[in-house]
Amino acid sequence: MTAFAEEYGISSSFRQAGYPFPHNGGRHEATLRQAVGIQNACGVPTRLVDVDDIARLVPGINTADVRGGTFGPTDGYLDPSSVVAGFAGRARESGAVILEQSPVTSLETAGGRVSGAVAGVHRLAPDLVVNAAGVWSPIVAGLYGGSLPLTARRNQIFVLNQSPAPGRNLPLTLDFVTGCYFHSEGPGLLSGLAESTEIADRPATIGCDWSELPLLVDRLVHRRPGLESAGVSHGWAGMIEVTPDDNPIVGWTHLANVYTVAGFSGHGMCLAPGLALEVARELQGRPAHIALDIYRLERFERGGVEPEGVWGGSGIAAGTS
Residue type, 39: Q
pLDDT < 50 regions, the chain: 312-321
Burial of 100 (0-12, 13-18, 19+ CB in 10 A): exposed
Give residue-wise pLDDT tens across range 247-300.
999 999 999 999 999 999 888 888 988 899 999 999 999 999 999 999 999 999
Strands (E), the chain: 19-23, 47-49, 68-72, 104-110, 113-119, 122-124, 129-131, 151-160, 173-175, 180-185, 188-193, 197-198, 232-242, 249-252, 258-262
CA dihedral 26, 27, 29, 32 (to 10 degrees): 180
pLDDT value of residue 78: 94
pLDDT value of residue 311: 58
pLDDT value of residue 309: 66
Domains and CATH numbers, the chain: 18-75+152-242 (3.30.9.10), 105-150+244-302 (3.50.50.60)
The edge-to-edge listing of strands for the beta sheet with 122-124 is 104-110, 113-119, 122-124
Cα 124 from Cα 103, distance rounded (Å): 12
